[in-house]
Structure 1
Amino acid sequence: MIVMSIAGVDPSGGAGVYADLKTFQAIGVYGCGIVTALTAQNPYKFFSTLPVSEEYIAEQIDAVMDSYEIEFIKTGMLYSPEIIKLVSKKIREYDLKAIVDPVMVATSGGDLTKEDIAKAMNRYLLPQAILTTPNVSEAEKLTNLRITTENEAIEASKKIKCDNIITGGHLDGINTLNIGGEITIKKQDLIETDNLHGTGCNLSSAIVAYLAKNNDLKTSILKSLDYVYEGIKNGNYGTLIAKL
């Protein structure tokens, strides 16, 4: 079972491609990593971003697909509308099933992308995706709706252009799933911790891994929510390798 992450590099290892590969390994699938941008950041501070050219991103994808049969991928930080258009084209070209983590802002506070990212995602990427995993802030940008309650999250989920989960870390632990128009609410207790860097990356990559292991979409999401929750509680996603 081989899967792919198309995302940025976080040199501290807590988010981006490095985190995705750790999650893939922990759940028991082999992961390939396509780099869209370099960043200088750590769990507490964001410094800068250096994007990779669209041509070189395309060559990375083509190189991996030349050797491996891959069905499921995730996308993370894509930086620009041009990169979003390119990745959307490659998803169609290789008939990939994509989980989109619509990364726009780093946990440490830095703006990771150019303007008009939400618009480009809505136009090019989400119509090609089987799922997107926005947090509340990202869902607000994708829908132009304010989300402060469970009902507002449900209404926003109906506006997003593919199946989705609006994660509940900023909504009292209320995770809103909209799969095929069916709404499911999964409430998780919030944990007081600083160990939140990269949780969105880990969630989307876990979903990809569980899908590759022949779980259906809803089951993959629910298992991934539990995986991330345990990672937050333990303070180290690596400790889960022995458990899963």
Structure 2
Amino acid sequence: MLALSIAGFDPSGGAGILADIKTFSALGVYGAGVITALTAQNVGRVSGIMPVPPGFVKEQLDLVMEDLPVVHAKTGMLYSAEIVEAVAEKVREYGLRVIVDPVMVAASGGELSEGNFVRALRRHLLPEALIVTPNVAEAERLSDVPIGTVDDAIRAARVIGELCDVIITGGHLGGRSVIQIDGDVEVLEGELLDSRNTHGSGCSFSAATAAYLERGLDLGEALRMADSFVREAIRHGHHGTLNQFWMHSRYPD
């Protein structure tokens, strides 16, 4: 079993491609990675971003696919419209079942996208996606629907759902998530954890979804298992980040 992350590099190890690979490994799935951007960041702030040229993103993808029979992939920080288009081209070419984590803004407030990024997502990548996994702020940008309540999130999910299936994750909805799969909307109830160890939670959720799909679960089951996995990873987290290996051991103090 294997899965692919197409994402940015967080040198603190809490988010981005390193969080994805940890999540794949914790769930028994071999992880490959294509880097879309280098960042200078830690749990508290982002001070710089160096995007990878789109042609080199495509070259990385081609070489991975030449060697590995990848079926399930996830995207994280893509940063620019040009990188979005490059990734969408390769998703189509290789028929990847892709989970899109539409990373736009860091939890610390820094912008992680530029230019016509949202337009490119809507036009090029979401129509190729199996599902998109925005948080509330990202769902607002994708749908142009202000979200203050679960009912608002349902309306936003219906708009986004015209392009692909969607789950609006629940950190800002009192722990609840809104799922739309094949036109059917469901509210997934969940506990809102009082924890600061949330850096990388969105990355880990989308990566866990890809891993559970690779393990043979259907999409609804994969989303529920990913939600449970991330909650426990937050519960057992350390240094502001998740502990993806909570099933095996805790981080030392």
Query: Smaller-chain TM-score range?
Result: over 0.9
Question: Hey, what does 1:199 align to over in structure 2?
Answer: 201
TM-score with structure 2 setting the length: 0.94
Q: Deviations over 1:54-94 (max 9, x none)?
A: 11111100110010101000000001001000100000000
Question: Hey, what does 1:81 align to over in structure 2?
Answer: 81
Question: Hey, what does 2:220 align to over in structure 1?
Answer: 218
Name which of 235, 240, 246 aligns with 1:240.
Answer: 246
- 1:192 alignment partner AA: D
- The structural deviation recorded for 1:29 is 0.4
- The structural deviation recorded for 1:108 is 2.2
* Identical positions, percent: 47
Distance, in Å, in 2 between the alignment partners of 1:119 and 1:61 is: 23
Distance, in Å, in 1 between the alignment partners of 2:106 and 2:13 is: 13
SS of residue paired to 1:6: strand
- The structural deviation recorded for 1:241 is 4.5
- The structural deviation recorded for 1:242 is 2.0
Distance, in Å, in 2 between the alignment partners of 1:125 and 1:241 is: 34
Note the 1:6-45 alignment, pairs <5 A: 6-45=6-45
The answer to whether the 8 Å contact 1:9/1:38 transfers is: yes
Q: Deviations over 1:142-196 (max 9, x none)?
A: 0101011111111110111110100110111120010111111112121111111
Q: Which structure 2 residue ranges, 5 or more long, are not aligned? A: none
After the TM superposition, which segments of 4 or more aligned residues of structure 1 sit over 4 Å from their partners?
none
Distance, in Å, in 1 between the alignment partners of 2:27 and 2:197 is: 20
- The structural deviation recorded for 1:48 is 0.8
Does residue 141 in structure 1 map to residue 102 in structure 2?
no
Distance, in Å, in 2 between the alignment partners of 1:84 and 1:60 is: 14
The answer to whether the 8 Å contact 1:101/1:201 transfers is: yes
Distance 1:238 1:133, change over 3 A: closer
- The structural deviation recorded for 1:115 is 2.4
TM-score with structure 1 setting the length: 0.97
The answer to whether the 8 Å contact 1:107/1:198 transfers is: no
